[in-house]
Structure 1
Amino acid sequence: MIRRALGAAAALALLAAGTGWVLTAPEPLPEEVLAGPPGDAARGARVFAAAGCAACHVAPEADIGDAPVLSGGRAFASPFGTFYAPNISPSTQGVGDWSDAEIVNAVMRGVSPSGAHYYPALPYAAYARAEPQDMRDLVAHLRELPPSEAENRPHDLPFPFSIRRGVGLWKLMNLREEWVVDGDLPEPAERGRYIAEALAHCGECHTPRGPLGGLDQARWLSGAPNPSGEGRIPNITPAGLDWSEEDIAYYLETGFTPDFDTAGGEMALVVEEMARLSSEDRAAVAAYLKSVPPVE
């Protein structure tokens, strides 16, 4: 009787382990999504700026400039450990040997060329909402930037967060393609939603997180603790940001607030990237932020 019970328990354990292995498997994009026209580097430069790639992937203390060297190395502290931005320049140490499809899968699905999960420090939960053609354009632009042979630094993560397979469970709970602010929006707010929610991934910093690091979308853009431990990232819903659309757009272009203060810290890098967008795109982001439901 005992042997039979033990055998049944072992079988259930194996079944549960097998089910968990299947459910947490990396899921790349379908082939039909990856197929499409070649990327346009000029359009990709605008996607690159909106997505803020250089702000994370240039070396610490390096300038972004017009042709940034995406050598990586910048540290990002979190409650789960410290992540280090990788080299994504077009070199053998970066993504120079990757196919376009491999880069798009990494950005939109968090799946490496070897089929492993990337940690969501790469904001693929936001990029999952992007248009695949925009991602192909982004890849075309990346391939025109200067190469760097800087080696990647491994993340400093304690157990169990060092087990990448567990990221598959996080994806099951948090990877969505629907808009957070759903429904029809008037132009230019609809364009602003695409930039803010998909490309610029504003929610990654400005939205509080649950215990496993997923965004609390019920408090979308309502502010969050700074992962570095210094201060708090502000509430940018209408309940916390009473600037006009013109004020917001001007801030995204110049970094100057209506109170004659200036953007600092990581936001200064974001503004440097946003300033490369068209005035219409910055106005669209401002219109979107004014349409976000207020959260006290």
Structure 2
Amino acid sequence: MRLIRTLALLAVLAGGTGWWLTRPAPLSAAAVEGLTGDAAKGERIFWAAGCASCHMAPGAKGEAQRVLTGGQRFASPFGTFIAPNISQDPEAGIGDWTLLDLANAITRGVSPRGQHYYPALPYASYARMELADVADLFAFLKTLPADATPNAEHDLGFPFNIRASLGAWKLLFVSQAWAVPGNMTPTEDRGRYIAEALAHCGECHTPRNALGGPDKARWLAGAADPSDPGGKARVPNITPAKLTWSEADIAAYLTTGFTPEYDSVGGHMAHVVDNFARLPTEDAAAVAAYLKRVAPVE
């Protein structure tokens, strides 16, 4: 009987410790205190971070891309994620969010109600964002229109529909550390910030393990395309082992969509090019310089 009580106590302690370690961990209010945000700077963050690429309505073009109604579907091995409405509508969207709410969502993966978000929102990358940039983004989002389109539920089966399990995933795979560490030139450092934090290049170009976590030992070495149900399509390896273009060629591709062989961009990468075309040319050049510093992986 004593052994049973001891084992039961250990089980309770282990469960409590597990809950404590994996509970949502939002920022404190002090983290964003005094940050006012600049909408003009925030527009640059908006396009670099690819917000419209996921949250605009399916097939939206031109100015309609700024109406963040959501609704695009993103297939994965765990189910289909449906991008939510992040327009300024206070009920369907995020119109009643505070800066702290936005910072918690995109850098901690925690909702205003204190729940874990799924990493379809690439907070594993956005965790590296400067909070001043989050404030600028928040200021810009406030200038965008509201839309009352209701949100749709993700199409996920058991056990992936249990949000509580995401706390353990975060412990394993979310870190503010750079994927490519080391000292860099100011240009390379800017490129690292854009590629690893804002544009979240590693979310698509890095292979994942069985738990859906990125294999950082093979950073940017290419991965299966989750949008291909047959599993044959690949997101390309963009390490120097395979991407042998010059920095100028890479920067031109990011802003025009044309390869050195005059092939043109396709798939979701077309959205990335559309975003980079709206940024200062030095941002694409910085990403190109960073990519040359990535470890080559065959």
For residues 55-113 of structure 1, give each alpha carbon's deviation from its aligned partner in whole angstroms, at most 9, with x where no partner exists: 00011111253861100011111111111100001112100011111011101100000
Distance in structure 1 (CA, Å) of the matches to 2:62 and 2:192: 25
1:4 corresponding residue in structure 2: 2
2:250 corresponding residue in structure 1: 248
When normalised by structure 2's length, the TM-score is 0.96
Are 1:103 and 1:139, in contact at CA under 8 Å, matched by a contact in 2?
yes
5+ long unaligned stretches in structure 1: none
Are 2:48 and 2:276, in contact at CA under 8 Å, matched by a contact in 1?
yes
SS of the equivalent of 1:29 reads coil
Distance in structure 1 (CA, Å) of the matches to 2:142 and 2:272: 22
Are positions 1:145 and 2:144 aligned together? yes
1:111 is matched by which residue type in structure 2?
V
SS of the equivalent of 2:66 reads coil
- In the TM superposition, residue 32 of structure 1 has moved relative to its aligned partner by 3.0
Distance in structure 2 (CA, Å) of the matches to 1:36 and 1:212: 38
Distance in structure 1 (CA, Å) of the matches to 2:69 and 2:121: 15
1:22 corresponding residue in structure 2: 20
1:283 is matched by which residue type in structure 2?
A
| Number of residue pairs aligned between Structure 1 and Structure 2 | 294
Task: Give 1:213-228 correspondences, 5 Å limit.
Answer: 213-228=212-227
Distance in structure 2 (CA, Å) of the matches to 1:65 and 1:289: 31
Distance in structure 2 (CA, Å) of the matches to 1:136 and 1:53: 15
5+ long unaligned stretches in structure 2: none
Runs of 4 or more consecutive aligned structure 1 residues displaced over 4 Å after TM superposition = none
1:56 is matched by which residue type in structure 2?
C
Distance in structure 1 (CA, Å) of the matches to 2:252 and 2:105: 33
- In the TM superposition, residue 216 of structure 1 has moved relative to its aligned partner by 0.4
Percent identity of equivalent pairs: 59
Distance in structure 1 (CA, Å) of the matches to 2:175 and 2:158: 27
SS of the equivalent of 1:121 reads coil
Are 1:51 and 1:199, in contact at CA under 8 Å, matched by a contact in 2?
yes
Distance in structure 1 (CA, Å) of the matches to 2:65 and 2:39: 13
2:205 corresponding residue in structure 1: 206
Are 2:128 and 2:176, in contact at CA under 8 Å, matched by a contact in 1?
yes
SS of the equivalent of 1:82 reads strand
Specify whether residues 64 and 105 from structure 1 end up closer, same or farther in structure 2 by C-alpha distance, changes over 3 A only: farther
SS of the equivalent of 1:179 reads coil
Distance in structure 1 (CA, Å) of the matches to 2:250 and 2:62: 22
Are 1:67 and 1:145, in contact at CA under 8 Å, matched by a contact in 2?
no
Specify whether residues 295 and 64 from structure 1 end up closer, same or farther in structure 2 by C-alpha distance, changes over 3 A only: farther
Q: Which deviates more, 36-45 or 63-72? A: 63-72
1:278 corresponding residue in structure 2: 280
SS of the equivalent of 1:76 reads strand
Distance in structure 2 (CA, Å) of the matches to 1:258 and 1:66: 31
Are 1:36 and 1:133, in contact at CA under 8 Å, matched by a contact in 2?
no
1:248 is matched by which residue type in structure 2?
I
Distance in structure 2 (CA, Å) of the matches to 1:146 and 1:262: 32
1:76 corresponding residue in structure 2: 74
For residues 141-162 of structure 1, give each alpha carbon's deviation from its aligned partner in whole angstroms, at most 9, with x where no partner exists: 1111111111111111111111
Are 2:89 and 2:147, in contact at CA under 8 Å, matched by a contact in 1?
yes
Distance in structure 1 (CA, Å) of the matches to 2:121 and 2:97: 17
1:139 is matched by which residue type in structure 2?
F
The alignment yields a C-alpha RMSD, in angstroms, of 1.2
Are positions 1:268 and 2:266 aligned together? no
Task: Give 1:9-158 correspondences, 5 Å limit.
Answer: 9-65=7-63, 68-92=66-90, 93-158=92-157
SS of the equivalent of 1:108 reads helix
- In the TM superposition, residue 240 of structure 1 has moved relative to its aligned partner by 1.0
